[in-house]
Amino acid sequence: MAKVHACYLNKSGSIEIVSNYFQSESTSYGFKFSEMVRQRQIDFNPRYYSHFDHTRQKVFIQYTRTLDDAFALTHESKHFMNYLPNKSFQEEIFSETSSILSELRLGEYLKQTSLKRATELQIKNILYDNYNSFEEIKRNLKCVRIKDYDHKEVNSRIKYLIGLLLSIYINRHIKLGNITTSGYEKIRDHLENMPLSQLAHILDIDINLDNNILNISEGGLLKLEDSYKLEMSSLFRKEDKCYEKCRNCG
């Protein structure tokens, strides 16, 4: 692992972190990422907003020279690796979940390094990003249950909200030992096409797809709410003096 200052990270520093992270997930992910680097499919620029462009087969990362770049690169690279033309409803609805989950797993990986403090601040930003309360998230999540899918893109905010809630839940239950390594690997590698009964079993949440409508039971929503609130409160108990410092020195 490169020695990087928590407040300053250049392009190769971000690439090295992300490369080591994907390698720690599996040799296959490590290889896919090294191919992206080798084929110059990663582009950093302060003027970009971070996204994956499938027509150009490239990820564009907003270059902020902070740890944020490594998280954005992980997120967009996972989109790159998962890309399929003509997505099914399940692939579409869970497309953000895979990417956000990889960010949270990168966070767990980095907490074991000298970047622990900066990582906690970063995770705090991911969890809190744009959302003031769980009620707002829950209100939005409920829309999925009544939404018809007619092969148009599912609202990207809804996909993000599902991703945020499921990823926090999955990451929390991996840490608690309630989701096994093999359960996690199934989700990581097959979330977009695994039978939902299998996902429901791994998560212990009643979740299913019926006629292209995603249903999460009231009990399931309560479990998601619980894990979200517990993760948030554990993060927000901590002081964040360094946060201002990091922002200012960027």
Listed ranges 41-49, 65-73, 97-105, 181-189: which one lies at the site for Zn ion (CB under 5 A) = 97-105
Residue 40 tokens read as 């110059």
Which is nearer to Zn ion, 66 or 99 (by Cβ)? 99
Q: Which stretch binds Zn ion (CB under 5 A): 65-73, 96-104, 121-129, 215-223?
A: 96-104
The span of 90-98, 185-193, 200-208, 230-238 binding Zn ion (CB under 5 A) equals 90-98
Nearest approach, Cβ of residue 197 and Zn ion (Å) = 26
Q: Candidates 63-71, 95-103, 143-151, 201-209 — which segment interacts with Zn ion by CB under 5 A?
A: 95-103
Rounded to an integer, what is the distance from CA 39 to the centroid of its chain?
24
Cβ distance to Zn ion smaller for residue 69 or 96: 96
- 14 or 102: CB nearest Zn ion: 102
| Token pair recorded at residue 109 | 């990986």
The least distance separating Zn ion from the CB of residue 3, rounded to whole angstroms, comes to 30
Contact 16, 34 (CB under 8 A): no
> Total binding residues for Zn ion by CB under 5 A?
2
Per-residue H/E/C for 172-185: HHHHCCCCCHHHHH
Nearer to Zn ion, 96 or 231 (CB): 96
Which residue's CB atom is positioned nearest to Zn ion? 99
Q: Of 159 and 223, which CB lies nearer to Zn ion in the complex structure?
A: 159
- Smallest distance, Zn ion to C-beta of residue 96, A: 5
C-alpha–C-alpha distance, residues 33 and 96, integer Å: 18
Among 74, 99, 167, 227, binds Zn ion (CB under 5 A): 99
CB atoms within 10 A of CB 35: 11
Cα→Cα distances 210→149, 181, 221, Å = 11, 28, 17
144 touches 138 (CB < 8 A): no
Residue ranges with strand state E in the chain: 42-45, 51-53, 58-62, 207-210, 213-216
* List of residues contacting Zn ion (CB under 5 A): 96, 99
